[in-house]
Amino acid sequence: MKIYLIRHGETDWNLMGKIQGREDIPLNDTGRNQALRCARAFKEKGIRNIISSPLIRALETAKIISDKTVKTDVIIDKDLIERDFGLMSGMTYDRSKYFDTFDHEDTMEPLEKVGKRFIGCIRRYAERFSGQDIIMVSHGAAINSVIKTLTKGDKGSGKTRLKNACISILTYKDREINLSSFNLSPEEFMDIEG
């Protein structure tokens, strides 16, 4: 089976370069259009289950995809929520680099913890919907933590900047999770998946 990880569409904070973390920032018009492009990419995939982070930017992305494809309720799971960036939430990336020099990273959720909870969530739904492909809508740092874990640090957190509304493809077979592709635009996804 395949698990499609989708990063939420763009928000105004993405445009400003602000760290969103657990702040509940809605999609902007571009983000809603990006979600519609994802929906078109999944229209013929036969997906029946979409699971989302509870944060509005992810949930809105998931609902747009669901409304145009599966037309079922989106399952909300707190384990797909974004990394808690603590005192760095709301800062721009340039300012956060400066802020890091004062050893305030201890206010952030440890990256290993993010990856562990997200991968646990993937396993739970892969077992629950055994044999059915699923979509999970989440956030950049959270998805990157999974990519980092699955590639043993070759890709993901610290190395990959995920695009808004990008699609990453995981396979789940014999209780093993593997990364097939990542950071695909909806158009790149359609080229690969047909």
Q: In the annotation, is 176 catalytic?
A: no
The residue extents of the domains of the chain are 2-193
Beta bridge partners of 171: 2, 178
| Whether residue 101 has pLDDT greater than 50 | no
pLDDT per residue over 45-83, tens digit each? 999 999 999 999 999 999 999 999 887 899 999 999 999
Residue indicated by tokens 């739970």: 124
Given 10, 60, 82, 109, the catalytic residue: 82
- Number of alpha carbons in the 13 Å side-chain half-sphere of residue 63: 12
Number of neighbours of residue 5 by Cβ within 10 angstroms: 24
pLDDT of residue 104: 56
Residue 122 has a pLDDT of: 98
Residues 138-153, mean pLDDT to the nearest whole number: 96
Structure tokens given for 191: 């080229």
**Comparing 14-18, 175-179, 182-186, which segment has the lowest mean pLDDT?**
14-18
Degrees to nearest 5, angle at CA 7 with 69 and 91: 145
Per-residue tokens: 81? 């929520």
Residues of the chain above pLDDT 70, percent? 93
- Please choose, from the candidates 1, 2, 5, the residue with its C-alpha nearest in 3D space to the C-alpha of residue 162: 5
Q: Residue 170 above 50 pLDDT? A: yes
> Is the sign of the CA dihedral 78, 79, 82, 87 positive or negative?
positive
For residue 157, give the DSSP letter: T
Strand order across the 167-173 sheet: 75-76, 49-52, 134-138, 2-7, 167-173, 176-184
What's the whole-number average pLDDT of the chain?
A: 91
Query: Tens of pLDDT along 3-38?
Result: 999 999 999 999 998 989 999 999 999 999 999 999
**Is 104 assigned a catalytic role?**
no
pTM of the model: 0.93
* pLDDT-based confidence at residue 123 (cuts at 50, 70, 90): very high
Question: At 17, phi and psi to the nearest 5?
Answer: 75, 25
CATH classification code of 2-193: 3.40.50.1240
